[in-house]
Amino acid sequence: MEVIKTHIPDVVIIKPKTHGDDRGFFMETFRDSSFSSRVCRRRFVQDNHSKSRRGILRGLHYQTVQTQGKLVRVVSGEVYDVAVDMRKSSDTFGQHFGIVLSETNNLQLWVPEGFAHGFYVMSNSAEFVYKCTDYYAPEFEVSLKWDDPAIGITWPLTDGTLPSLSEQDENGFAFADAPYFD
């Protein structure tokens, strides 16, 4: 696997080695020893898989308790994936990193604990798979406003149409009012 640094030091892109020919391909998507030595030591306790249609935006989510680190990838389709640093003591507090993840580029993104995370579906549909370092706890989940100008994310909206959001995401916190991590 290749580990690619981003402008936010704790957020990294992982490019698995893919072996393929005209019959198909094989890639190792996670190996604990490689992840621990090249990215960070973490224990993953939950895997999730979601499917969404074009124009859906999920996020920006994080949990204030049972904070989750996420290793994310797309197995079908294409999304624009974003991580926002919510750690007040960090040099990159309030900054975001965004990247296209797709079934063709096979890239993964490590989103550490202390970050809000979300994605926007650019293809007709997308299947999104991720490993989490802690269990989902909806009572501690926070949604950060996807279009807050204080964060300044440029989402690649399809035909300029506003994204389809859940009620929770429609009513997300402005960055200035959101709970932060120390």
Query: Domains in the chain, start-ordered, CATH in brackets?
Result: 2-177 (2.60.120.10)
The verdict on whether 61 is a catalytic residue reads yes
Centre a 10 Å sphere on the Cβ of residue 127 and count the other Cβ atoms it contains: 16
Pick from 92, 134, 131, 127: which is nearest to 109 by CA? 131
With beta carbons less than 8 A apart as the criterion, state whether 72 and 29 touch: no
Strands of 22-167 (E only): list them.
24-27, 46-53, 57-63, 70-76, 78-85, 96-102, 108-111, 115-121, 125-132, 141-143
Give residue-wise pLDDT tens across range 46-95. 999 999 999 999 999 999 999 999 999 999 999 999 999 999 999 999 99
pLDDT the model gives residue 70: 98
Q: Name the phi and psi angles at 169, rounded to 5.
A: -75, -30
Altogether, the residues listed in the chain come to a count of 182
Q: What is the pTM of this model?
A: 0.94
What is d(CA 47, CA 131) in angstroms, rounded to the nearest whole number? 4
What is d(CA 97, CA 81) in angstroms, rounded to the nearest whole number? 8
With beta carbons less than 8 A apart as the criterion, state whether 135 and 43 touch: no
Q: Are strands 46-53 and 57-63 parallel, antiparallel or unpaired?
A: unpaired
Give residue-wise pLDDT tens across range 70-80. 999 999 999 99
Q: Which of 120, 130, 135, 180 is catalytic?
A: 130
> What CA–CA distances, in Å, run from 150 to 18, 144, 147, 167?
38, 11, 9, 21
Q: Which of 61, 62, 117, 120 is catalytic?
A: 61
Give residue-wise pLDDT tens across range 126-140. 999 999 999 999 999
Residues 133-156, buried b or exposed e (16+ Cβ, 10 A)? bbeeeeeeebbbbbebeebebebe
Give residue-wise pLDDT tens across range 91-112. 999 999 999 999 999 999 999 9
Q: List CB contacts of 92: < 8 A, sequence separation 6 or more.
A: 7, 8, 9, 85
